[in-house]
Amino acid sequence: MAQGSNNNEAFLGSAMQFLQAGQNMAQQFMDYLGKNGAALGNMPPPVADPQALTALQKQFMDQQMSLWQSMLAKQKGEPQSFKVEPEPGDRRFAAAEWRDSPIYDYLHQAYLLNVRYLKEMVEALPAQDEKAREKMRFLARQVADAMAPTNFAATNPEFVKLALETKGQSITDGINNLIRDFERGRISMTDESVFEIGKNIATTEGAVVYENAVMQLIQYAPLTAKVGARPLMVVPPCINKFYIMDLQPDNSLIRFMVEQGNTVFLVSWRNPQEAQGHLGWDDYLENGPIAALTVIREITRAKQVNALGFCVGGTILSSALAVLKARGDDCVASLTLLTTLLDFSDTGEIGLFIDEQGLAAREATIGQGGLLPARDLQNTFSFLRANDLVWNYVQNNYLKGQKPQAFDLLYWNSDSTNLPGPFACWYMRNMYLENKLRLPGKLSMCGEKVDLGKLEMPVYILATREDHIVPWQSAYQSTRILGGRTRFVLGASGHIAGVINPASKNKRSYWTNDDVKTDADGWLAAATEHKGSWWTDWSAWLQQHSGEQRAARKIGNTKYKAIEPAPGRYVRERAV
């Protein structure tokens, strides 16, 4: 009887602590909002409706009490009448240790109640506009994720169990991992010693045939006896390294393109250092796609080229083609855009980091010269999915002392790039903040007023359903902007996994609908689902625009000789 009384007292003490923790979490969030109103659209300190706030607090206290009573009942062998489940996809509390111990079982459910309370409080607060509310939701999620019991040794039973089993070795290993990562200046997501660019990733055979201060142009060796007369130029994002498209032979989109009988050229962007800190948007257009198209046509003697852009690479490519169109040059026969924004009306959570105040500060510091460091970009993208890309590694690397597993995609994710300040500031202001690219003649680039509506070549647009960087509905808006006939395809999964979905593995799905006159939701409602990869659909579409078959050509010509083997030295440069 005395033991049961002690357990009851322990539970009551824990309940009161977590009730207070939830209220403290909410109060800290409110205090932050009050001090940082400018970050939320210069809104005044938020003041919730007192009656709504009182009702919310009462509901929270009642739920915490219900949970405490339910846990006591469970201890007596009775059914648990009140239980708090994680949201779908949240595997932080999947281990049996979180349920085997009544204390930890209660602890994680109480935390989930606290998170629910914080989210409901955000919805009860006034907001100047929807973007301000989205910022509050994002900040609330960051606070909640950071305070999860999984992140702390004292409240993580998996840490305790492993420490006991290893007699403290896991603690020592975790501290050593933390010291190594501190010296690196970033969290280790994978075993980087396993990978070497050009040796076991980015291995598709080819050579650099041209280079300038902005990029190297790679031509890949043919893998078929005959190829289409029109070559294919690929423009990857400059925010990351191109080899996301050429990881391993079995998941390489580049290799797939070559295997399908295309003469493939790829723009490998330079990882800018201080000497390139003066480069702007126009420099990237002139010395990127525009220069590449000139070289490709001279090497292949093709009058027209097919072109593909991925993410911001697609934005750069479309802008470059609009410049060429203004100059009377129609050298691109077809355009493919993968998870690309042309209309920046809804940019998802990435747009929450870009506002007038913050951008003006960047323009004052690096807008005329300097670098936007890779570390800043990587941190921004990581905290969009903090539980997967930050706290997961805090738990495994530092609390459990584990060595990260070798994973090619995460090696690429850790290999970030700098951006020249003038380029980054121009891009953020004119695209994300002021959304001018979609408006005919609103922007001047390379001395020309651009109009994407005058691009009349056939276009293949791929978006992905779970993309948190380029919302698929925003990518769909490109069908309203470009002047040519468009085929819009929606892939399953997210920004990377939805694109890098090898045809050979026959995984996931994609949706098609030839009618792009309706809105995005109407398009999806009438779309047909196809099992497998979008790669095969795109390859069939591209074949229609590849021209007649001819014998495959060797790499380069007398003017543009091979400078070095692919993947070249630019992609090997790491940000410091």
Which active-site residues does the annotation give?
311
CB atoms within 10 A of CB 201: 23
- Per the CB < 8 A criterion, the answer to whether 418 and 352 are in contact is no
Asked if the bond preceding 567 is cis, omega within 30° of 0, the reply is yes
- Per the CB < 8 A criterion, the answer to whether 39 and 357 are in contact is yes
- Per the CB < 8 A criterion, the answer to whether 542 and 264 are in contact is no
**Could you tell me the two tokens for 443?**
């922007």
For 185, 214, 512, 515, 518, the CA distances from 526, given in Å and listed in that order, are: 48, 43, 9, 9, 10
CA distance 77 to 102: 12
For 70, 73, 106, the CA distances from 78, given in Å and listed in that order, are: 9, 5, 15
- Per the CB < 8 A criterion, the answer to whether 421 and 369 are in contact is yes
**Could you tell me the two tokens for 178?**
């933390």
CA distance 84 to 93: 12
**Could you tell me the two tokens for 541?**
């579409």
Q: Please return the burial class of 222, using the count of CB atoms within 10 Å of its CB with bins 0-12, 13-18 and 19+.
A: buried
CA distance 108 to 363: 44
3-state SS, one letter per residue, for 24-70:
HHHHHHHHHHHHCHHHHCCCCCCCCCHHHHHHHHHHHHHHHHHHHHH
Q: Please return the burial class of 297, using the count of CB atoms within 10 Å of its CB with bins 0-12, 13-18 and 19+.
A: middle
CA distance 518 to 408: 39
Strand 459-464 to 371-372 pairing = unpaired
Q: Whose structure tokens read 């409110």?
A: 30
CA distance 15 to 27: 18
